[in-house]
Structure 1
Amino acid sequence: MRKIIESTFVTVDGVISSPQEWCSPYWDAEHSDYAGKLLVSSDALLLGRVTYQSFAEVWPTRSGDAYTDRINSMPKYVASTTLKEAGAWNGTLLQGDVATAVAELKRQPGEAILKFGTGELDRTLISNRLIDEFHFWTFPCVAGGGDRLLDGLDLTHLDLLETTRFKSGIVVNTYGLK
Structure 2
Amino acid sequence: MRKVSASLFSSLDLVVEAPNEWQFDFDDEMGAEMSRALAEQDVVLMGRVTFTEWASYWPTSTEEPFAGWINQTPRYVASSTLASVDEWPGSTLIKGSVTDFVAELRGQDGSTIGVGGSPTLVRALFDAGLLDELTLLIHPVVAGGGRQRLFTDDAALAKLELTGSRSTSSGVIIATYRPVR
Shift of 1:116: 2.0
Pairwise CA RMSD: 1.5
Query: CA distance change for structure 1 residues 161 and 71 in 2, over 3 Å: closer, same or farther?
Result: same
CA contact (8 A) 2:17 2:119 kept: no
Corresponding residue of 2:19: 19
CA contact (8 A) 2:51 2:77 kept: yes
Aligned counterparts of 2:64 and 2:18: Cα–Cα separation in 1: 24
Gaps of 5+ in 1: none
Normalised TM-score (structure 2): 0.91
CA contact (8 A) 1:39 1:67 kept: no
- Work out the percentage of aligned pairs sharing the same amino acid: 37
CA contact (8 A) 2:46 2:118 kept: no
Corresponding residue of 2:84: 85
Aligned counterparts of 1:158 and 1:106: Cα–Cα separation in 2: 20
Match of 1:51, as an amino acid? T
Aligned counterparts of 1:5 and 1:87: Cα–Cα separation in 2: 25
Gaps of 5+ in 2: none
More helix by share: 1
CA contact (8 A) 2:27 2:168 kept: no
- What does the per-residue CA deviation read over 1:60-110, in whole Å, with 9 as the maximum and x for residues that have no partner? 231134332011211111111111122332211112111110011111111
- 1:114 aligned onto 2:114: yes
Match of 2:21, as an amino acid? E
Aligned counterparts of 1:8 and 1:18: Cα–Cα separation in 2: 11
Count of residues in Structure 1 that have an aligned counterpart in Structure 2: 177
Match of 1:28, as an amino acid? D
1:21-170 → structure 2 map (5 Å cutoff): 21-23=21-23, 25-89=24-88, 90-145=90-145, 146-151=147-152, 152-170=154-172
